[in-house]
Amino acid sequence: MIVVDRLQHRFGILDVLDDVSFEVGRGRFCALVGPSGCGKSTVLRILAGLVTPTGGRADIDGRSVVGRVGQAAYMAQRDLLLPWRRALANATVGAEARGLDRRSARAEALALFERFGLAGFEQSWPHQMSGGMRQRLALLRTFVAGLDVLLLDEPFGALDAITRRDLQCWLDEFLAEHDRTVVLVTHDVDEALLLADEVLVLSPRPGTVTARVTSPYPHPRPSALVTDADFVSRKATILAALAQAGPPAG
């Protein structure tokens, strides 16, 4: 489904990605972890068709993503809500852009507001919502877009631990029932291993894949998995690869 092959990227003289390769099969979940500034968001922005890589290949469904915005639902690291649209109208923006039926997109979004802890805020403006609420709304919008590939850039970053765990469980259960292909960027190794089928560790900039750790447990997964001996040993492998990576490139 997703093929990234010897991907390279420079912003001017800044070497950001060096030879990144990975594949994500249909319905599979891949997590990217790595030090700040190593190019994780850049990988997602390339897959979203927003950045043209300076080398290598990135394909979704056998076609290059270059210049093709809208092949995947992308949740940016910053929430990017539209300040002039109320919450519900923000939630359906991706669906509308794709020409999906507005009524059914609204109905689908409304049903998710409660699950995301946003019930009662359907008609609020983004500036009336907290940072965590805005982030949940941006995540909700990604699901309502009706696309098979989800690109999630630290979707739980601004949430407290309990809400974060709750939404991780929701995502795991949702994906067990819906066939979506996901690339998730996170700094949380537990989150990566709990949600993903494979975790890739990137080196400091210029980013390259230094470790690949599979997470072979059936979905949906119980929270208690984090104390399982096999889980802990996979986590140790990832942490060791991150430690080897050294301090963040900034």
**Which DSSP category does 7 fall into?**
E
What region, left, alpha or beta, does residue 218 occupy, with left being phi > 0 and alpha being psi -120 to 50 degrees?
Answer: beta
Name the one residue in this structure whose structure tokens are 């609204």: 106
**SS3 label, residue 2:** strand
Q: Which of 41, 142, 186, 215 binds ligand ATP (CB under 6 A)?
A: 41
Q: Which of 21, 64, 77, 210 binds ligand ATP (CB under 6 A)?
A: 77
Smaller CB separation from ligand ATP, 83 or 250: 250
Cβ 74 vs Cβ 149: under 8 Å: no
Query: Counting contacts by CB under 5 A, is residue 42 touching Mg ion?
Result: no
Query: Counting contacts by CB under 6 A, is residue 200 touching ligand ATP?
Result: no
Cβ 156 vs Cβ 168: under 8 Å: yes
Query: Counting contacts by CB under 6 A, is residue 56 touching ligand ATP?
Result: no
Q: Which of 20, 24, 35, 41 binds Mg ion (CB under 5 A)?
A: 41
Answer whether the bond into residue 206 is a cis peptide, omega within 30°.
yes
**Residue 37 contacts which entry, ligand ATP, Mg ion, none (Cβ below 5-8 A, type-dependent):** ligand ATP
Query: Counting contacts by CB under 6 A, is residue 7 touching ligand ATP?
Result: no
**Residue 136 contacts which entry, ligand ATP, Mg ion, none (Cβ below 5-8 A, type-dependent):** none
User: Which residue, among 140, 200, 217, has the nearest Cα to 171 in the 3D structure?
Assistant: 140
Residues contributing to the site for ligand ATP (CB under 6 A): 11, 14, 16, 34, 36-42, 77, 205
